[in-house]
Structure 1
Amino acid sequence: MITVSICCLSYNHEPYLADAIESFLSQKTDFSFEVLIHDDASTDRSAAIIKEYEEKYPYIIKAMYQTENQYSQGVLVDLVNQARARGKYLAYCEGDDYWTDPTKLQRQVDYMEAHPECSMSVHAASTVSALKKKVLSDVRPSVGDRDLTVEELIEGGGEFVATNSILLAKEKIEPLPEFFHRAVVGDYPLVIYGGLQGAVHYMDRNMSAYRVGVSGSWTQRELATVEKKGAHMQEIARMLDEINEYTDYRYDRSIRVTKERNELHLLLEQGRVAEAKKGKYREQYNQLSLKKIILFRIKHSFPNVARLLKAIRWGVSA
């Protein structure tokens, strides 16, 4: 019997894929798990690397190889991949990220088994530079273990918890609601829905790494310009409105605050500081640190400098 299905999406992850797969295989558990890898027609050697592991571990690694890129056609590839999951629990990690603690799955499953009211378990993680794995920051929603509230999950945004920290109870989240299927992203609405279906428990233990500065990543493709960020923000706002309706407006304040914060950040990136300082944005603007305000101004007035500073910090070419 399979207890955990590890869902891994891969697209042109050749330099990183072995790290991800090895981190799955290194898990020390007293239960069985499977690794479901979906390769979305990679143009590098990703598929070949996956096949090597699949041949070596045929009872653990189950791969899907697309001949045409599905994501570009609007297909929700994460749902395609996890539809074949046989596990009681689902874990997530993309092919350019990896886990850092061999006890990760065991710890999360033990907690979930002891707390059936829990729909999802998450934990602390690190953001690291793409190739050198230099630790840049921590994704740490709280100090100490505790359950996270739905309000926190909404207001925290898509980066509040690391996607590769998620372990969820499959029966509690299936079938997924319509707002998930229409969403422009998958992890943010998934975490919110997990909170609506049961407790989301946070473990204050760092057990995974999220790479930044990966060439051709979703962030680089979809959020490369202020215009793209604006379009993305509108899609997130639409999704939040649908969640508001779905929950009969129980979280209206959190959704309103989150939408206004996103709008404020976009105004600052566009250099519209006067608008950002007044009206409904005034309170949140006054809460911004001086450092953050300066960074927004650099992004707008000196975009090349902003890119250079980010590249230096991440250890990649500008």
Structure 2
Amino acid sequence: MNEELSYEHKVCVECFTYNQSLYIEDALDGFCMQHTTFPYVCVIIDDASTDGEQKVLTDYLKRNFNLNDTSVVRNEDYVNYSLVYAQHKNNENCYFAVIFLKYNHYSKALDKTPYFSEWHNNSKYLAFCEGDDFWIDSHKLQKQVDFLEVHTDYTMFFHNAIIRYENQTRPDRILSQFETGDFDTLLLFKKWQLPLASVLLRRQILDSPLLTELNKVYKGSFCLFITATKTGKVFGLSESLSVYRINDGGVSNKMHAWDILDRRYKYAKVTKDDTIIKYVDSIALRRLIEVMPHYLLGNSEAKKLANVVKYHNKRVYYQSIIVFPLCFPKLVLDKIKSQYDKKKRSNR
């Protein structure tokens, strides 16, 4: 039996969006411009936006999709959501399944991933793009699928991205510096932040028991990344094929150092990989030494960081207290140098 006949779409693209009316069309354009030799479906879930985004999505469908083809189009209404499924007017391989949630699921702590299940089950690969990010290479999906089709021992292919600061406080820059090649779990922890919009992975990752355990810690994209490195090989492309937006309302802007460290520790312990756990210990020691002056002065964020370290590894906590006096002169010099460099840049 031909394996491809069992897949309605070779790729299912997940896109969660909420109140991103200013950005969502960039994401949609990135989906539609893909040149592929296979059908793919982009599942866009709007979590009951209040900024007019639902109208933006509706108008986009009317302009770009064939809503009159009754052999393809689905217009369905359910208790919790309504669905529009259609094929692009010009790109016959591009399909959209737009799900309009009737009430905000995030505020009620309701899981939105079940809405993807129909599309997951009929796809070989999964791709991702949040509503404020977007793809800038029209062959992104084809490049990734071609690689995974040939290299069957690889579970995931990701690429680099350009960071764009919407408040224009900084110029665009490359998200991460790395060489094209394989990524193991340790390298993944070292780089930590991978652009979600860059990822293509095999759907079978969702069935992994390890993913289930990781999701119990903190459910998020990093669980997928770790699972991919533990169940097969992962390939990283240094070329930037997408844009990762940072805006004032973004979740990534609200995360604290202690929260990130706590996640690292918990993820590392789920993997039961001593190399990863020791690496996180080394990060914890360094960070705690750096914030020790603030901790001793009663700074609340420094206290939270110290409590995280103490909870996960008391030895590292007490080691930082012992080592800090030896490191204090260097910390002062580094601080002075940092302020000098900052002032020098501002005077240019």
Q: TM-score, normalised by structure 1?
A: 0.75
Partner of 2:139: 103
Deviations 1:216-256 (A, max 9, x none): 22234x43xx5xx5345434433332333xx5x46332343
Q: What is the distance in 1 between the residues matched to 2:101 and 2:323?
A: 45
Partner of 2:33: 26
Q: What is the distance in 2 between the residues matched to 1:184 and 1:66?
A: 24
What percent of counterpart residues are identical? Answer: 21
Partner of 1:239: 267
Q: What are the equivalent positions in structure 2 for 1:40-79 lying under 5 Å apart?
A: 40-55=47-62, 56-57=64-65, 58-59=86-87, 60-77=95-112, 79=113
- In structure 2, do the counterparts of structure 1 residues 268 and 197 end up closer, same or farther at CA, with 3 Å as the change threshold? farther
Partner of 1:301: none
- In structure 2, do the counterparts of structure 1 residues 34 and 4 end up closer, same or farther at CA, with 3 Å as the change threshold? same
Match of 1:39, as an amino acid?
Answer: D
Partner of 1:252: 277
Ranges in structure 2 where 5+ consecutive residues have no aligned partner: 1-7, 66-85, 88-94, 307-316
2:193 is aligned with 1:166: no
Q: CA deviation at 1:209?
A: 0.4
Q: What is the distance in 1 between the residues matched to 2:335 and 2:99?
A: 45
Q: What is the distance in 2 between the residues matched to 1:187 and 1:284?
A: 36
- Asked whether the 8 Å contact 2:154–2:234 carries over to 1, the reply is yes
Ranges in structure 1 where 5+ consecutive residues have no aligned partner: 299-308, 310-318
2:230 to 192, 196, 210: 196
Q: What is the distance in 2 between the residues matched to 1:10 and 1:16?
A: 10
Q: What is the distance in 1 between the residues matched to 2:60 and 2:96?
A: 7
Q: TM-score, normalised by structure 2?
A: 0.70
| RMSD (CA atoms) | 3.6
- In structure 2, do the counterparts of structure 1 residues 113 and 131 end up closer, same or farther at CA, with 3 Å as the change threshold? farther
2:152 is aligned with 1:116: yes
Partner of 2:92: none
Q: What is the distance in 2 between the residues matched to 1:5 and 1:92?
A: 8
Larger Rg belongs to:
2
Q: CA deviation at 1:155?
A: 2.7
2:244 is aligned with 1:210: yes
Deviations 1:72-113 (A, max 9, x none): 333343x33432322211011000000111111111111010
Aligned residues: 283
